Amino acid sequence: MSALIEVENLRVRFPGDHGPTDVVRGISFSLGRERLGIVGESGSGKSMTGRALMGLVPAPGRAIADRMVFDGIDLARLDERGFRRLRGARLSMVLQDPKFSLNPVIRIGEQIGEALAFHSRASRRERRRRVLDVLAAVRIDDPERVYRLFPHEVSGGMGQRVMIAMMVVLEPDVMIADEPTSALDVSVRAQVLEIMDDLVRRRGMGLVLISHDLEMVARWCDRVLVMYDGRIVEECAAGRLAEATHPYTKGLLASTPHLDDARELLPVLDRGALGASR
């Protein structure tokens, strides 16, 4: 499998009163045309890993890596202008708080169309057609109507679909979805994941699915990285998670009821046993 992205020794560093702190502490992984899950508890560095790939680590933080390459492009040395050319068009991310990524005063169709205007020479008419197509692709029943709505006029589930539409409209090679369904009801959640899954398969993209939910990641991904405290502590095929060896992963598995139906009580993670220290 040829890699779309290769990362070696990535750190995300923030300055602090007592010197710099690394919130991502030297991780290495690769992504092919596959669905890669990144799972771990809140604060383990998942979102910062996704942001580092997109050049979106918030200042004054910064990403440092021995190697971070996307299709021959050295992301570790790319400037903001270079990232702007890649973002949306070739690398795309749904941020963890999608509400903040939609502009409240611009109609949904026009917002999706803006990405097209920035990255392609499509005519106005052509852009409109492509936006309507992509809204239909994320299974919005009445694309013409939704095109004209403002972000506050759509439900959470619809908003999430709009975000996915925005992420895929330029047919990027890699999509990074950060907790894409955490704000959704369980019933809508599976639908949204199915839409993404379908797009990834049909268009041969690479997907990074970031979640704190191990069960979800195990179900929808091919391969899983488990992060703990800024590091990757386990990497395995989704189907082999049951054989995971790291105590943190075992703890996650043990507290995930559907992956281990034999258990009736949910054991609490024994953090003391993990031996993690900074």
Closest approach of Cβ 21 to ligand ADP, in Å?
7
- Give the whole-angstrom CA distance, residue 193 versus residue 210: 12
Binding site for Mg ion (CB under 5 A): 47, 96
Q: Any idea what DSSP says for residue 57?
A: P
**Segment lying near ligand ADP (by CB under 6 A), choices 35-43, 134-142, 235-243, 269-277:** 35-43
**Residues 6+ away with beta carbon under 8 Å from 170:** 88, 89, 90, 92, 115, 116, 119, 120
* Pairing label, strands 206-211, 5-14: unpaired
Instruction: Please identify, using beta-carbon distances, which residue of 98 and 143 lies nearer to ligand ADP.
Output: 98
Q: Does 211 bind ligand ADP (CB under 6 A)?
A: no
Whole-angstrom distance, CA of residue 263 vs CA of residue 254:
8
Footprint (CB under 6 A) of ligand ADP, residues 43-62: 43-48, 58, 61
How many Å apart are CA 197 and CA 18, to the nearest integer? 44
First to last CA, the chain: 35
State the binding partner of 48 from Mg ion, ligand ADP, none, CB within 5 to 8 A by kind: ligand ADP
> At its nearest, how many Å lie between ligand ADP and the CB of residue 123?
40
For residue 48, the minimal CB distance to ligand ADP (Å) is: 3
25 binds ligand ADP (CB under 6 A): no
- Site residues (vs ligand ADP, CB under 6 A): 14, 23, 40, 42-48, 58, 61
